Structure 1
Amino acid sequence: MEYIRITDISDPLFRQVHNLLSEVFPPEEVLEFSLWQEPLEDPGIRVFAAVHQGKVVGTTEYRYYPDWNVAMTDFTIIGREGLGIGRFLAQSRLKDLRSLVADNGGKELFGMFAEIYDPYRVADFAFGGVKPMDPFVRREVLSHLGYERLDFPYVHPSWKGDGEAVTGLDLCFMPGHEGLEAVEASLVADFLTRYYAVLEDKPEAWHSMVDQLRQRDTLRLLPL
């Protein structure tokens, strides 16, 4: 299996990647195909495909923020069972991030953010594709990887760009080392502000959430 970075919307692999995105996630979570050109060219956004026998069988997108020494996992998608795709993507991503941290003069990643669906709170998620993409399975796997829930009610702007608030997810954090019990709320607020800067139309609920984060000192890390 190959771990191949995609940096151009015209790359034939990207059509397969976008098809996987559209099969797995609801429309408000998927950026429209033509709007991907700029993100793919952004050196800070890393989109990789797991390619098996010439076909995309999995994909992941993530970002590294050198000034905070943190990363964000945008998505990880498994397209076929029985090939060990999840582990392959996780290990390949970690190797790449360690290289970025080293280039930044660091020794260890401080941690990684991820938005994680909560199927225990919202039961009508419409996920397509294979069983490993079931939100119950995904949540448990991410817990095993070390992700923990940040202790605050989370909403995010719809990627449709329509200004709607999307709920039913938790913002989580995977510490780079064991024993971290809390994260500075200012880091979370700054991260979310930068991460969603690309979306001009944000719901009032999102602005209120960020304002409330800026009034807190720390956020506890809780089990998933």
Structure 2
Amino acid sequence: MEYIRVQSIEDPNFAAMHELMSSIFPPEEVLAFELWREPIADPDIHVYVAVYEGNVVGATEYRYYPDLRVAMTDFTIIGVMGLGVGRYLYMQRSLDLQRLQSESGTESIGMFAEIYRPQAVSSYKFGNVLPMHPAVRREVLSHLGYQKLDITYVHPSWDHEGRAVAELDLGFLPADETRQWLSAGLISKFLKQYYSALPKKPREWQEMISELDGGDEIKLLPL
């Protein structure tokens, strides 16, 4: 298996990845093909595909914010079962994040991830690959050490329509497993930076950010 970075929508691997993504995630969670042109060329956005025998069988996107000392896993896609795609992506991503920390002279305090609540998305079809089912993914992330932040979480839809997507929790994987909270200010700064590419923000998102700006510490709870 190969771990290959994708930095252009002209790359055939991107078309295969976008098709895979569109077959798994709800439409409001998938940025339109052409709208990827600029972000995928951003050197700070890391999009990699797992290629097996010439086929894209998985993908992951992540980024690291040295100023905040946090990472974000945008998505992980497992396209086929029985090849160890999930483990492969996890290990390769971990090694690359270690490199990014070393190059920036920083040490990460942890990694964010948006995690679906299975009971809230029962009407959605998450592809035909069992590992991508929200209940399975949530349990895997729990095994890895992810917890959820004690906030009512929403995010702007990626279809640029500015709708509030509320079927997820904001998760965090602390580097120190004894950590029990995260600064509300840090969460706010991260979310403002992460969603700066989306011009339309729903009222619910703005209210959530206002509460974080006025808050202190946010508890980390079990998934």
TM-score tier (shorter): over 0.9
Residue 146 of structure 2: aligned partner:
147
In the alignment, the residues of structure 2 paired with residue 123 and residue 86 of structure 1 have an alpha-carbon distance, to the nearest angstrom, of: 23
In the alignment, the residues of structure 1 paired with residue 34 and residue 105 of structure 2 have an alpha-carbon distance, to the nearest angstrom, of: 36
SS in 1 for 2:75: strand
Residue 169 of structure 1: aligned partner:
168
In the alignment, the residues of structure 2 paired with residue 15 and residue 123 of structure 1 have an alpha-carbon distance, to the nearest angstrom, of: 28
Letter of the 2:31 partner, please give it: L
RMSD: 0.8
Letter of the 1:157 partner, please give it: P
Residue 36 of structure 1: aligned partner:
36
Letter of the 1:99 partner, please give it: R
Letter of the 2:131 partner, please give it: P
User: Retained in 2: the 8 A contact 1:119–1:125?
Assistant: no
Alignment of 1:88-167 (within 5 A): 88-106=88-106, 108-167=107-166
SS in 2 for 1:89: helix
In the alignment, the residues of structure 2 paired with residue 63 and residue 129 of structure 1 have an alpha-carbon distance, to the nearest angstrom, of: 27
Residue 79 of structure 1: aligned partner:
79
Letter of the 1:210 partner, please give it: I
In the alignment, the residues of structure 2 paired with residue 5 and residue 163 of structure 1 have an alpha-carbon distance, to the nearest angstrom, of: 29
User: Retained in 1: the 8 A contact 2:145–2:177?
Assistant: no
Which 4+ stretches in 1 moved above 4 angstroms?
Answer: none
Change (3 A) 1:201 1:182: same
Letter of the 1:97 partner, please give it: L
Q: For 1:77-126, what per-residue CA distance to the aligned partner results, in whole angstroms no more than 9, with x for missing partners? A: 000000000000000000000000011113x4210000000013442222
Letter of the 2:119 partner, please give it: Y
SS in 1 for 2:28: helix
Deviation, 1:129, is 2.7
In the alignment, the residues of structure 1 paired with residue 121 and residue 50 of structure 2 have an alpha-carbon distance, to the nearest angstrom, of: 30
Identity %: 56
In the alignment, the residues of structure 2 paired with residue 154 and residue 5 of structure 1 have an alpha-carbon distance, to the nearest angstrom, of: 30
Residue 18 of structure 2: aligned partner:
18
Residue 5 of structure 1: aligned partner:
5
In the alignment, the residues of structure 1 paired with residue 220 and residue 59 of structure 2 have an alpha-carbon distance, to the nearest angstrom, of: 27
Letter of the 1:102 partner, please give it: S
In the alignment, the residues of structure 2 paired with residue 77 and residue 160 of structure 1 have an alpha-carbon distance, to the nearest angstrom, of: 19
In the alignment, the residues of structure 1 paired with residue 15 and residue 2 of structure 2 have an alpha-carbon distance, to the nearest angstrom, of: 17
TM-score (norm 1): 0.98
Letter of the 2:66 partner, please give it: P
User: Retained in 2: the 8 A contact 1:60–1:89?
Assistant: yes
Gaps of 5+ in 2: none
SS in 2 for 1:120: helix
Residue 198 of structure 2: aligned partner:
199
In the alignment, the residues of structure 1 paired with residue 162 and residue 36 of structure 2 have an alpha-carbon distance, to the nearest angstrom, of: 19
TM-score (norm 2): 0.98
In the alignment, the residues of structure 2 paired with residue 122 and residue 38 of structure 1 have an alpha-carbon distance, to the nearest angstrom, of: 30
Letter of the 2:139 partner, please give it: E
Single out whichever of 32-41 and 125-134 deviates more from structure 2: 125-134
User: Retained in 2: the 8 A contact 1:58–1:79?
Assistant: yes
Residue 45 of structure 2: aligned partner:
45
Residue 59 of structure 1: aligned partner:
59
Letter of the 1:90 partner, please give it: Y
